[in-house]
Structure 1
Amino acid sequence: MHPTAQTFADQIQEDYDFEAVVQEFPEGTKTAADAAAAIGCDVAQIVKSIVMRVGDETVIVLTSGANRVDETKLAAEFDVDADSVRSANASEVKDATGWSIGGVPPTCHTTDCPVLADPTFDSFGEIWAAAGTPETVFRLTPDDLQMLSNPRVVDVFE
């Protein structure tokens, strides 16, 4: 297993007593479509960890692979002007989460930033999320996601 994925597996076990069974796909799972194809699931079952800047705050939006973040709805959720919402850059993602773009898991972040989650996940028995690298994923349930990430479930999606 990639050392970064092992670090994630160890951290989630220690922090949450959750055993993440990490699967590696050398061809990569950088996009939701790539991940779904590699796993053999619906693209909607992929948890994308989208890191956004909302005003002066970093926010993690756990989005179904079938959906996109609506920046206007996200701005309204935080009562800020839509012009102040943007995707975080690579260094902001790493600083806020401890992980690099493409491998950000839905939990085990280095800072305590707000986490929002897509209500779409509740319609599936299992979902899949990044496990620290762009080539690794782990399986979880919507209940696991709630326990691990404690997100606000809101509709801020197109």
Structure 2
Amino acid sequence: MSTEHPSITRFREEHARLGGTGDVVILPDSVHTAALAAEALGCEVGAIANSLLFDADGAPVLILTSGAHRVDTAKVAAAIGVPSLRRATPDFVRTHTGQVIGGVSPIAHPAPVPTYLDPWLRRHEVVWAAAGHPAAVYSTTYDELAAMTGGTETDVE
């Protein structure tokens, strides 16, 4: 019997269904910040793709940003044509992603979520993103992230 968290299992299934090529890594401790994840993986913080879910007047918006950046919510809201982007509550995140803050993956959500990608992530040959749980990450590339999420490239700073 598997002891893997169900959200990681759902991620693995969706990742395989979409033809993902990266490896899922379960880290010994939760790595809920880009800096902690980068330290654990031995990579630059900029190679961490933070999956940040925002509330756009009740609709979810997912922004995949380099761990080296902070999202300028007013700039991104204007760029994507929504009135505002607010920090999502934990319940909002769980409802729209099926995952918890710190473990939101770019894929494997209950329903499609509009997704935007920080072009800065292109600078890294390997990008690491959450795999459905705060202690799980996976390796990918910018192009694979774009293909798997259907995301639109958007400057976030």
**What TM-score do you get using the length of structure 1 for normalisation?**
0.90
Distance in 2 (alpha carbons) for counterparts of 1:59 and 1:51: 6
Distance in 2 (alpha carbons) for counterparts of 1:103 and 1:147: 20
CA contact (8 A) 2:96 2:109 kept: yes
| Regions of 4+ moved over 2 Å | 1-4, 17-20, 78-81
SS of alignment partner, residue 104 of structure 1: coil
Paired residue type of 1:22: V
Aligned to 2:131: 131
Displacement of 1:20 in angstroms is: 4.3
Match of 2:11 among 2, 8, 12: 8
Distance in 2 (alpha carbons) for counterparts of 1:94 and 1:28: 17
Number of paired residues?
A: 154
Paired residue type of 1:146: A
Distance in 2 (alpha carbons) for counterparts of 1:23 and 1:113: 24
Distance in 2 (alpha carbons) for counterparts of 1:59 and 1:77: 13
Asked if 1:39 is matched to 2:4, the reply is no
Q: Percent identity?
A: 35
Aligned to 1:18: 20
Displacement of 1:155 in angstroms is: 0.5
Displacement of 1:19 in angstroms is: 4.5
Displacement of 1:38 in angstroms is: 0.2
Structure 2: unaligned runs, 5 residues or longer: none
Structure 1: unaligned runs, 5 residues or longer: none
**What TM-score do you get using the length of structure 2 for normalisation?**
0.91
Distance in 2 (alpha carbons) for counterparts of 1:55 and 1:117: 20
* Pairs within 5 Å for 1:1-158: 2-3=4-5, 4-14=7-17, 16-81=18-83, 84-157=84-157
Paired residue type of 2:19: D
Distance in 1 (alpha carbons) for counterparts of 2:13 and 2:82: 37
User: Could you report, residue by residue, the CA deviation over 1:15-54 in whole angstroms, capped at 9, with x for unpaired residues?
Assistant: x132542111122211000000000000000010000012
CA contact (8 A) 2:102 2:134 kept: yes
Once the two structures are overlaid, the 10-residue window that deviates more, 35-44 or 107-116, is 107-116
